[in-house]
Amino acid sequence: MARDTLTGSRIRERRLILGVRQAELAREAGISASYLNLIEHNRRRIGGKLLVDIAGVLGVEPSMLSEGAEAALISTLREAAADSGVPVAELDRVDEFAGRFPGWAEVLASGHRRIATLERTVETLSDRLTHDPNLAASVHEVLSTAAAIRSTASILAETGELEPEWRDRFHKNLNEDSLRLSESSRALVSFLDEGDTGEDRRGMPQEEAEAFLQASGFHFPELEEGTAAPQDLVQDAPELVSEAARSLARAALEQYQADARAMPLPAIAREVRSGGLDPVALAQHFGCELPAVLRRLAALPEDVLGREAGLVICDASGTLLFRKPVTGFAMPRFGASCPLWPLYTALVRPHVPVRRNVVQQGRNAAAFDCMAVAWPLQMPEFGADPLYRAVMLILPGGQEAQDPQPVGASCRICPRQDCPARREPSILKEEF
């Protein structure tokens, strides 16, 4: 049933909520109760002055009666039905449901949004608990110290009389291990504490550096215009607490500055607008390497590039060194990302550009246009193995994607079954 034919149902629903009798509403609107009854059962169309009069009596805007629930609510209801995995025979009547029962419709939509938020939280926390090296190191320190205390205490309790020299030594060890346990436990609690009241920031230096870059939208006009140096930008940045984080951020900004000098913003913006998004052509035009072009494109403002762009960089071990998120493409906080990413295909084929249309499996699968290439950090000496890195530009490409390759974020939270690249079972089901 079309939304504009449910005006009568909305009038009836609003009247019942207000506790107004049908005869009373008809009298106030200047029509008969029988005619109002036909309107409320959607047997008579209504509009113009009569709709305005009835809306005035009910104390609502006429559009609330003629248009009913907002499109966002109906869209959420349709999404909830699609995500349920259960065939919904009445899907074509979702407008009628939202119009006749707006309260229950909002409850259902709110529940769906809350479930989706909780599922994303579970994915994030599970990925963190599984792959966070800081957490693993803290827990290992607590457990090893507790084991040392247990061992020392057992010797003191079960050995009987000990020579004073040995007893004092064990007491000293017990005291030192207790202090270690106290410090490591306090550090672990601080790491897990969600509050941000302490001076020390929770997380790894890489996280601090990424937070700093994200706070500026990964774009730095000061470096583009040459009015500031990387050191100036990181010196007093509130996101950078540790010296290690400042070092990482400074290195990222120095690379940004070098790319900006090789491809100035006005020039590359002009080339992108005139020639389109062709990294190889841009590399030839500016005389730059392809990795620099991919980095530069990811750093351009959206109004210049014409779309959102993400970027990831990894080393030869596959560990992600740099991440610029893009909406819909999940990236793990640390290594152990999906081995099917074109990033890793490029890593085993240095200097060969790799372009793939991919779709990331999950709740809201979306297609992306990924361009990747690997390059050596420096020219290796004779007898020395080269050190490679790979970079991947990620562009939303749902409209252009043809036969996209399915990929995931990491095996731990990837719902795709029967994947030949899977390293460990997923905590999610296929229909999650």
Q: What does each of the 432 residues of the chain score in pLDDT, given as a tens digit? A: 444 567 888 788 888 888 888 999 999 888 988 889 888 888 887 877 888 889 888 887 777 777 654 555 677 777 787 777 676 657 777 777 776 777 787 788 888 888 877 877 777 666 666 656 666 667 777 888 888 888 888 887 777 777 888 888 888 888 888 888 887 777 666 555 544 444 444 457 888 888 899 888 899 999 998 888 999 999 888 888 888 889 999 999 999 999 999 999 999 999 988 888 899 999 999 999 999 999 999 999 888 888 889 999 999 988 888 999 988 888 876 557 888 999 999 999 999 999 999 988 765 667 899 999 999 988 778 888 889 999 999 998 755 556 788 888 887 777 777 788 888 887 665 444
As beta bridge partners, residue 320 has 314
Hey, is 294 helix, strand or coil? helix
Q: Give the pLDDT of residue 90.
A: 72
| Residues 133, 121: Cα–Cα separation, whole Å | 19
Spatial CA neighbour of 80 closest among 70, 91, 69: 91
Contacts of 174 (CB under 8 A, 6+ apart): 149, 152, 153, 156
Q: Give the pLDDT of residue 344.
A: 93
Q: What is the largest CA-CA distance in the chain?
A: 107
Q: What angle do CA 338, 294, 277 make, to 5 degrees?
A: 110
Burial of 101 (0-12, 13-18, 19+ CB in 10 A): middle
| Residues 59, 28: Cα–Cα separation, whole Å | 12
| Residues 124, 333: Cα–Cα separation, whole Å | 9
DSSP sequence for 221-251 = HHHHHTSS-HHHHHHT-TT--SHHHHHHHHH
Q: Is 403 within 8 Å of 354 (Cβ atoms)?
A: no
Burial of 412 (0-12, 13-18, 19+ CB in 10 A): buried
Residue type, 288: C
Q: Give the pLDDT of residue 294.
A: 96
